[in-house]
Amino acid sequence: MNLTIIGAGYVGLVTAAVFAKLGNEVWVVEIDNDKLKKLSCGEIPFYEPGLGELITKNTSAGKLRFTKSYKEAILGSEIIFVCVGTPSKNGKVDLSYVYSATKSVAENLKNPATIVIKSTVPPGINSKIEKWMKRFTKVSFDLASVPEFLREGKALEDSLHPYRVVIGVEKKSVAKKLLQLHKKIPGKRLVCNSASAQMIKYASNAYLPTKISFANSISILCDKFGAKVEDVMKGVGMDKRIGPDFLAAGLGYGGSCFPKDISALLHLSKKAGYNFSILKAVEKTNRKQVDYFVKKVVRLCGGSVKDKILVVLGLSFKPDTSDIRNARSLLVIEELQEKGAKIRACDPVAISEAQKVIKEVKFFGDPYEAMKGVGALILVTEWEQYKNLDFVKIKKLLKSPIVIDGWNVYNRKRLEKLGFVYEGIGK
């Protein structure tokens, strides 16, 4: 099929690359000149395993094209995906990019098409967008909603092998067309109305953090009662009704989606006159987990971190991404700095992003280099390369052999045998 993707952000680029790989002819519209230039040379603006290669391959094969012109892209397109950002301002969803993109689509529409909203938008918005677009075109079109569920760092895997594809439509003929487009993609299918599809996205991005905050609350009790949260959650997750995923306790969730979508859903609930108290508690628990961790660091450092040099391992909000939006590292570093600590920070790919927002931190690519003479080692993002460090070597480098593990990745017995003071979370 001939497709157009509006917006070369995370969702847009992944959607474009995947549909091109599956044999479609794909145009991507991007209005930012700099970004467009870079993309045309195969440069992608963030780190995502495999995506750069897939884009280059399909660009060279002529399956994937980038342009600034809506007119050029959508001329022959049957389906147009709107993948622009919907940033949140104190929970209020900013829909200005959605409205400007759909206006441009409408103004350039020459033939009937299906317009699919992939951006995360408030449930029920499609009827408003439809009225809005009709102001700028006489050509007929259908609106649909196919929310995106991909995880950063695993974007291609999630898009090519999703758990489910949710198709939100108001007409059977549109469902048929979209089911056909997704035919080569495995996973379950759910066809529902567009408001339900949009609500599924918010509900999923609220429920997964609920599991995480629940596990984190249990981790605090595990610390108090001498239980091991990993074993506890393993046992809990063995119940099929609960499931094993998203029960890893640690420093809490970050990233661009969970925090944003939770605050948007809370805002929408308030507007609708509903007090979504569970979700408020999820958000609060997540914030408090960082405080709990920082208190641990201070305690293990002898009651004060003032003027102590500490190494923070990991800056990105999770491994395999350069994204530092709402990363726990930002909060941990800020709280430790407030208490007078001097921070050295390491990350395999996120240092340049972090340098834009974190002040008065020394950055190191090589963690061993960073560890020379420091007071404690703090694991904040569980990158694979930090899981397999040489602790015999580290013991000689640290001034005080203290390891505080935000994700329970290290072996307590082994570290204690080597002479380290070690603590995880709920361990």
The residue ranges that bind ligand UDX (CB under 6 A) are 148-152, 205, 208, 212, 246-248, 250, 252-255, 257-258, 317-318
Query: How does 282-318 read in b/e, with b if 16+ C-beta sit within 10 Å?
Result: bbebbeebbebbbebbbebbeeebeebbbbbbbbbbb
Query: How does 59-80 read in b/e, with b if 16+ C-beta sit within 10 Å?
Result: beeebbbbbeebeebbeebbbb
262 Cβ contact list (under 8 Å, min separation 6): 205, 206, 209, 279, 282, 283
Is the distance from CB of 386 to CB of 314 less than 8 angstroms? yes
Q: Which is nearer to ligand UDX, 148 or 283 (CB)?
A: 148
Q: Which is nearer to ligand UDX, 208 or 281 (CB)?
A: 208
Query: Is 257 an active-site residue?
Result: yes
Q: Is 143 helix (H, G, I), strand (E, B) or coil?
A: strand
Q: Which is nearer to ligand UDX, 117 or 374 (CB)?
A: 117
Name the minimum Å distance from CB 247 to ligand UDX: 6
188 bridge partner residues: 164
> Does 260 count as an annotated binding residue?
yes
> Does 414 count as an annotated binding residue?
no
Q: Which is nearer to ligand UDX, 200 or 247 (CB)?
A: 247
> Does 317 count as an annotated binding residue?
no
> Does 120 count as an annotated binding residue?
yes
Name the minimum Å distance from CB 163 to ligand UDX: 9
> Does 246 count as an annotated binding residue?
yes
Closest by alpha carbon to 126, among 112, 138, 144? 144
Catalytic, out of 41, 83, 192, 257:
257
Name the minimum Å distance from CB 84 to ligand UDX: 16
> Does 13 count as an annotated binding residue?
no
Q: Is 414 helix (H, G, I), strand (E, B) or coil?
A: helix
Whole-number Å distance between alpha carbons of 139 and 150: 33
Kindly list the distances between the CA atom of residue 289 and the CA atoms of 83, 301, 398, in Å, as whole numbers in the listed order: 33, 19, 26
Q: Which is nearer to ligand UDX, 142 or 283 (CB)?
A: 283
Structure tokens at 49: 């395993």
Q: What is the DSSP letter of 180?
A: H
Name the minimum Å distance from CB 134 to ligand UDX: 30
Alpha helix ranges (H) inside 164-225: 172-181, 194-225
> Does 201 count as an annotated binding residue?
yes
Kindly list the distances between the CA atom of residue 188 and the CA atoms of 167, 179, 203, in Å, as whole numbers in the listed order: 11, 11, 18
Name the minimum Å distance from CB 239 to ligand UDX: 16
Q: Which is nearer to ligand UDX, 142 or 335 (CB)?
A: 335
Name the minimum Å distance from CB 311 to ligand UDX: 20
167 Cβ contact list (under 8 Å, min separation 6): 144, 146, 175, 178, 179, 182, 189, 190, 191, 192, 197
> Does 38 count as an annotated binding residue?
no
> Does 250 count as an annotated binding residue?
yes
Strands (E), 281-391: 309-313, 342-346, 361-364, 376-379
Q: Which is nearer to ligand UDX, 77 or 120 (CB)?
A: 120
Whole-number Å distance between alpha carbons of 297 and 299: 5
Name the minimum Å distance from CB 258 to ligand UDX: 5
Which residues are designated catalytic?
A: 257
Q: Which residues are annotated as a binding site for NAD(+)?
A: 35, 86, 120, 152, 260, 325
Binding residue positions:
35, 86, 120, 149-152, 201, 246-250, 254, 260, 318, 325
Specify binding-site residues for substrate.
Answer: 149-152, 201, 246-250, 254, 318
